[in-house]
Chains A and B, each alone.
Chain A
Amino acid sequence: MKFVNCPLIGKRALSEFTYGGVVKSEPDLESVTDREWAQFVFYRHSDPQIQFEWWYHRPTGIWFVFERDTLTDRIESIRMAQKGAVNDA
């Protein structure tokens, strides 16, 4: 069990959230090559790191972006996902 200190709704159990994968920025379809596209869809460096991730809070229906350390499971920061701002995460 873990806790999340949600900026909007306070301390919540992590089990209320659904993991939505790492935040990735999608390449521009106009200019991307097939290879680059495949790299975007499938390949990444997933060694332990602090990364930005999508987490969905089911009871409120809100998407959050967590900054989480995949080695220690420490959540470094949390914010509500903002429109369009995700790519700058």
Chain B
Amino acid sequence: MPLRLLKYAWKKPEEELRFFPSEKPLKQSYDAVIIGGGGHGMACAYYLAKEHGITNVAVLEQGYIGGGNTGRNTTIVRSNYLTSEGVKFYDASLKLFEDLSEDFDLNIFYSTRGHFTLAHTDSAMRTMRWRAEVNKHHGIRSDVVDVETIQKDIPYMNVECNGQHPVMGALYHEPGAVARHDAVAWGYARGAQLRGVEIHQKTQVTGIQTQGGKVVGVQTNRGDIQTNKVISMVAGSTPRITRMLDIPTPIEVFPLQACVTEPVKPFMNTIVVSGSLHVYVSQSSRGELVMGASVDPAELHSTRSTLDFVEGLTDQMMDLFPFTSRLKIMRQWAGMSDITPDFAPIMGKTPVEGFYLDSGWGTWGFKATPISGKTMAHTVAHDQVHELIKPFALDRFENFKLVGEKGAASVGH
């Protein structure tokens, strides 16, 4: 029995430290306003306060903390990207993740499981090797492994895949992990709040005011606020916010769905992704198989579920894990993914002074939560774009300087 638990045993609920404050009025002005109380928004607030001493900050969340994609994602954390820019960025995030539980004094269940990206074609094998080589070059533990090695770790996988597109090998990424998504947002929120940041739930930003190309305030459903710095961290709602300032972006929003089975005792320890089959799966600490696929085929700003998704996913899943036919799907859901043409985020400054953008997180942004918060906080505090996120600028498209991440992200999250 860990000692930490003993000290809670004698406390009454009301003596507990609150994670989040109860509702209180908005102030008239703040040094900075963060739109979006997801993981990114909370992390940015945390690092602004902790590392830059900027605490007169409000995080405005239209719903509840973590209710966007943060609370809907399948929590795969990895750094086996294809480009140097991507690898460095996500690796820095992983390093932060590893310390979070202790930083927060809150277990985020950061669980290193190992991550297999299966290859079913020789061209996929080439991509896996490419990623492995780029990763190793940056000191990241990734290797191309053969079928025997996969079978050693996952003996119950049907590598023959019913005779079609058999597994030829995989990219194995040892640091691949899963975590408790909500806890990440809560931990950051509590940490930020303890340092003086205000968190306002059920507060929706409805407009952003500018004067002479500079941000001067935001409008909300609870009244107006003055501020010279606004940081948009709203993932799937980004086009709605950028519309307010007439900033067109390359982002398009597509639903991304996921589902879970009923809980069963642990048998799957690694994370398995198959790009060719459009599926990925891990087993949560509650015992559910958490599964997902690629984004829905058309733009949509909605979190509705479709039957096509579960039908397709379960069908493909059985090629790899035939025995899962005996399990039951318990729940499905969706989030809105802000997809970019090059599958890399859009971060940093914008044409409007004082308006900062953290977006383009598509299917892959949970793993970036800590590093996005940290680098965006730096960017806002110094009004100077952090080195790690320079390649992710909004104007890279205009300059035809895209980040070549497409090959690595399509279904991997």
Q: Within 8 Å by CB, do A and B touch in the complex?
A: yes
Question: Which of A18, A35, A48, A53 contacts B301, CB < 8 Å?
Answer: A48
Indicate if B308 sits at the interface (CB-CB under 8 A). yes
Name the residue in A19, A42, A46, A48 with the highest tally of chain B Cβ atoms < 10 Å from its Cβ.
A46
Contact A1 B252 (CB under 8 A): no
Tell me whether A46 and B397 are in contact in the complex, defined as CB-CB below 8 angstroms, given that A15-B308, A19-B297, A73-B304 are known contacts: no
Contact B299 A70 (CB under 8 A): yes
Contact B239 A45 (CB under 8 A): yes
List which A43-89 residues lie within 8 A (CB) of chain B.
43-48, 53, 68, 70-73
Interface residues of B (CB under 8 A from A): 239-240, 242-243, 246, 248-253, 297-302, 304, 306-308, 341, 397-400
Main secondary structure of the interface of B (DSSP, over half): loop
Sample of 12 more A-B contacts, CB < 8 Å, known A43-B250, A43-B398, A46-B252: A19-B297, A19-B299, A44-B248, A44-B249, A45-B243, A46-B239, A46-B251, A47-B243, A48-B301, A70-B253, A71-B301, A73-B300
Tell me whether A39 and B302 are in contact in the complex, defined as CB-CB below 8 angstroms, given that A1-B307, A46-B252 are known contacts: no
Select from chain B the residue with minimum beta-carbon distance to A18: B297
Contact B398 A38 (CB under 8 A): yes
- A1 — which chain B residues lie within 8 A by C-beta? 306-308
Contact B398 A39 (CB under 8 A): yes
Select from chain A the residue with minimum beta-carbon distance to B340: A42
Name the residue in A47, A68, A70, A72 with the highest tally of chain B Cβ atoms < 10 Å from its Cβ.
A47
Contact B253 A35 (CB under 8 A): no
List which A17-39 residues lie within 8 A (CB) of chain B.
18-19, 22, 35, 38-39
In the bound complex, what is the Cα–Cα distance between A38 and B23 (angstroms)?
A: 45
In the bound complex, what is the Cα–Cα distance between A15 and B309 (angstroms)?
A: 11
In the bound complex, what is the Cα–Cα distance between A71 and B336 (angstroms)?
A: 11
Contact A42 B299 (CB under 8 A): no
Tell me whether A19 and B398 are in contact in the complex, defined as CB-CB below 8 angstroms, given that A1-B306, A43-B250, A73-B304 are known contacts: no
Q: What would be 24 A-B contacts, judged by CB atoms less than 8 Å apart?
A: A1-B306, A22-B299, A39-B248, A39-B398, A41-B397, A42-B250, A42-B341, A43-B398, A44-B248, A44-B250, A45-B239, A45-B242, A45-B246, A46-B249, A46-B299, A47-B239, A47-B242, A48-B240, A48-B301, A53-B298, A53-B299, A70-B299, A70-B301, A73-B304
Main secondary structure of the interface of A (DSSP, over half): mixed
- A42 — which chain B residues lie within 8 A by C-beta? 250, 341, 397-398
Name the residue in A15, A42, A53 with the highest tally of chain B Cβ atoms < 10 Å from its Cβ.
A42
- B400 — which chain A residues lie within 8 A by C-beta? 38
Shortest CB-to-CB span from A78 to chain B, Å, is 14
In the bound complex, what is the Cα–Cα distance between A15 and B248 (angstroms)?
A: 30
> What are the 7 closest A-B residue pairs judged by CB atoms, nearest first?
A43-B248, A42-B397, A19-B298, A47-B239, A38-B398, A48-B301, A42-B250
Select from chain A the residue with minimum beta-carbon distance to B297: A19
- B299 — which chain A residues lie within 8 A by C-beta? 19, 22, 46, 53, 70
In the bound complex, what is the Cα–Cα distance between A70 and B240 (angstroms)?
A: 12
Select from chain A the residue with minimum beta-carbon distance to B296: A19
Contact B240 A47 (CB under 8 A): yes
In the bound complex, what is the Cα–Cα distance between A73 and B354 (angstroms)?
A: 34
